[in-house]
Amino acid sequence: MIAYLHGFASGPGSTKAQYFRAKLAELGLDLAIPDLAPDFTHMTITSQLAIVEPLLTEGSILMGSSLGGYLAALVAARYPERVRALVLLAPAFGFADRWEQRVGADVFARWKRDRTMTVLHYGLDRELPLSFDLIDDAHGYPAEPDPVCPALVIAGRRDEAVPLPAVEHFAAARTGRDLVVYDAGHELTEVLSPMWQRTRAFLAGLGVA
């Protein structure tokens, strides 16, 4: 089973998800793309785990973008006997601790007080409320999971959402993690073709593609 875990405020129809699905289909491979936030307002790491974990089969390969990349690494660390390899695109390690910086101290304090905040859902192109439970719940999980399986880790040098040092730290922490850095932003959509070439080579090394 190969699955793609989309990022925060994204969805199964994301550009990267559909691009990789089409490329894998050319090789006769299916790509599962679960909706990780059917109830976006009440989305948490725990709720996303509850969606991904039942999909796992022995030898699963997980791809993930941004928050989905973090989630993929977390799932692999929790189920080392089931997850064979990872492809992580700008994985959002330590994302919960960066929210205050992202929205500003005053907005963050109001969010914590009021328990909900309106944010733009990029996949739906409209604003939706988001519960502060996402932050509370996230602090119950490691900021940087430590899966043992091989991982292809892709990052953008101009990524303003996920600092490159955070991704570099993960990649350097264990052997078997191959870091590729492109001159790109967080979305990485400007480097789809080279990302696919590296991903296909990585999968070929596993005997998959």
Tell me, what's the pLDDT at 15?
Answer: 94
Tell me, what's the pLDDT at 87?
Answer: 98
* Reported confidence tier of residue 65, pLDDT bands at 50, 70, 90: very high
* Reported confidence tier of residue 100, pLDDT bands at 50, 70, 90: confident
| Torsion angles phi and psi, residue 80, rounded to 5 | -60, -25
Q: In the 3-class helix/strand/coil scheme, how is the chain assigned residue by residue?
A: CEEEECCCCCCCCCHHHHHHHHHHHHCCCCCECCCCCCCHHHCCHHHHHHHHHHHCCCCEEEEEECHHHHHHHHHHHHCCCCEEEEEEECCCCCHHHHHHHHHCHHHHHHHHHHCEEEEEECCCCEEEEEECHHHHHHCCCCCCCCCCCCEEEEEECCCCCCCHHHHHHHHHCCCCEEEEEECCCCCCHHHHHHHHHHHHHHHHHCCCC
Tell me, what's the pLDDT at 9?
Answer: 87
What's the whole-number mean pLDDT along residues 107-136?
92
Tell me, what's the pLDDT at 99?
Answer: 86
* Cβ atoms < 10 Å from Cβ of 114: 10
- Per mean pLDDT, which of 101-105, 126-130, 205-209 is the most reliable? 126-130
Lowest mean pLDDT across 65-79, 91-105, 173-187: 91-105
Go through the chain and tell me how many residues it has.
209
pLDDT of residue 141 exceeding 80? yes
* Reported confidence tier of residue 123, pLDDT bands at 50, 70, 90: confident
Tell me, what's the pLDDT at 25?
Answer: 97
* Reported confidence tier of residue 41, pLDDT bands at 50, 70, 90: very high
pLDDT of residue 209 exceeding 80? no
Tell me, what's the pLDDT at 164?
Answer: 94
Q: Could you read off the pLDDT of 8-39 as tens digits, one per residue?
A: 989 999 999 999 999 999 999 999 999 999 99
Tell me, what's the pLDDT at 101?
Answer: 83
